[in-house]
Amino acid sequence: MPPRVDKEKCDGCKAQHEPLCEQVCPGDLMVLGESKKAYCRSLRDCWDCMSCTKICPVGAIETRIPYQLGYHVAKLIPMMGTDSITWTCIDINGNVEHFRYKNRVEPE
């Protein structure tokens, strides 16, 4: 399921050698384009793991359900904290749901 990059928000992780989304994508699918904006080189090959969406520091990446599988338009927006994650989910009728949980505990 294809990630979509908001070209206004994406800054190509300026100082990084590779933007974070490009670093983490398990399928080697995210690339920095010539305009220094990230994009997914092959939408059909995405596994929808959302690693890129979660790691993007400026919230420029959205994972979209392909229309053949799900209707227009639902959103799932992660916000990463240091030891927790918050998700906002909006369904196609505009109903909003929030989730928050700890994803790390203090190491022993």
Partner 1 sequence: MSKNSPKNLDEIVTEIVETDLLIIGGGNAGCFAAIEAKKVSPGLRVAVMEKAHISRSGATAAGMDAINTYIPEGKTPEDLVRWSRSQVGGGPIREDLALSNAQELNGAVDDLASWGLPIIRGEDGQPEYRGKWDISIHGEQLKPIMAEKAIESGADIYNRVAATNLLMHGDRCVGAMGFGVRDGKFYVFRAKAVIVSTGGACGLYKSYTSDATSSHHQTWMCPFNVGTGYSIGIRQGAEMTSLEQRWVATRTKDHCGPVDTISVGYQSSVINAHGERVLQKHYAHLGGDKAPRYIRANAPMEEWLAGRGPTYADTTNLTPEEAKELKTDYLNERPSFVLFLASRAQDITKEPIEIYGSDPYVVGGHCQSGYWVTIDRMTTVPGLFAAGESAGGTPNKFVGGCAAEGKLAARGAVAYVASVKLPALDEAQVAKEKERVFEPLLRGPEFDGVSPLEMEERMQRLMDEYAGGITQFYRTNEERLDYALKHLKMLRSQVQYLYAKDLHDLMSAHEVIDRLDMAEALAHHLKFRKETRWPGWQTRSDYPEIDPKLDCFVESRLNKETGEIEMFTRPYEQIVPGDRCQP
Enzyme catalytic residues? 47
- Name the token pair of 106: 């203090």
Selection from 56, 96, 57 nearest residue 75 by Cα:
96
Half-sphere exposure of 9 (CA within 13 A, CB side): 12
The site string for partner 1 over 89-108 (x = CB under 8 A, - otherwise) reads xxxxx-x-x-x-xxxxxxxx
Q: Tell me: does residue 28 bind partner 1 (CB under 8 A).
A: yes
Tell me if 6 contacts partner 1 by CB under 8 A: no
Give yes or no for a contact between 87 and 98, defined as CB atoms under 8 angstroms apart.
yes
Measure the CA–CA gap between 71 and 61, rounded to whole angstroms. 19
Check binding of 70 to partner 1 (CB under 8 A). yes
Interacting residue ranges for partner 1, rule: CB under 8 A: 1-2, 18, 23-28, 41, 43-51, 54-55, 63, 65-66, 68-71, 73-76, 78, 85, 87, 89-93, 95, 97, 99, 101-108
